[in-house]
């Protein structure tokens, strides 16, 4: 795959506008699911996450010098959601995003692998994430990579449930090549 090497690195301040563009591109596919007002609020939340001081790490993926993906890591459920009652005190992966034009090249897998490695380096045993059932292709990827449902960490919001997954880092085949 010459010329197609995915480079994973920590985002720098100068990358943040491009990270925002990747997030908006990736999540735009869900716009039709929301009433206009809710979508605008969701979009504002996505944009605000780019500079959220509670983010522990902003990991980006580059392909041929272009930022094509990103993911954010938080220390805990309190940092990620303002929800200490979830009692997640290990890293939480949020807002995994890959530009639609480069999907299928392994970018998401590499961002998840990096998130798992960084979490392990920080001394964590698990990595959590929350998603929605409408993100079915993401759920298939998470499950294929070894994430398991963590029903006890689901978040109930109004009329919906934000479903939780956890990866046991020390048992993960995702990190076997480490």
Domains of the chain in sequence order = 6-175 (3.40.630.30)
Q: What is the DSSP annotation of 46-109?
A: HHHHTT-TT-SEEEEEEETTEEEEEEEEESSHHHHHS-GGG---S-EEEEEEE-GGGTTSSHHH
Q: What is the pLDDT of residue 4?
A: 65
Give the predicted TM-score (pTM) of the model. 0.91
Q: From residue 98, how far is each of 29, 80, 106, 159, 169 by CA, in Å?
A: 12, 20, 10, 28, 23
Q: What is the pLDDT of residue 159?
A: 75
- 136 confidence band (pLDDT: 50, 70, 90): confident
């Amino acid at each position: 795959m010459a010329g197609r090497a995915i480079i994973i690195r920590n985002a720098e301040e100068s990358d943040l506008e491009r990270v925002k563009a990747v997030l908006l591109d990736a999540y735009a596919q869900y716009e039709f699911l929301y009433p206009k007002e809710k979508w605008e609020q969701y979009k504002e939340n996505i944009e605000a996450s780019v500079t959220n001081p509670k983010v522990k790490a902003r990991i980006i993926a580059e392909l041929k010098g272009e930022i094509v993906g990103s993911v954010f890591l938080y220390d805990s459920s309190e940092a990620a959601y303002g929800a200490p009652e979830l009692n997640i005190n290990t890293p939480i992966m949020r807002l995994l995003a890959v530009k639609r034009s480069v999907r299928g090249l392994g970018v998401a897998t590499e961002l998840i692998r990096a998130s798992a490695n960084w979490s392990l380096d920080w001394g964590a045993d698990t990595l959590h994430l929350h998603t929605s059932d409408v993100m079915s292709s993401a759920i298939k990827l998470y499950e294929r990579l070894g994430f398991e449902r963590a029903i006890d960490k689901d978040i109930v919001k109004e009329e919906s449930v934000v479903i939780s997954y956890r990866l046991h880092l020390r048992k993960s085949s995702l990190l076997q090549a480490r």
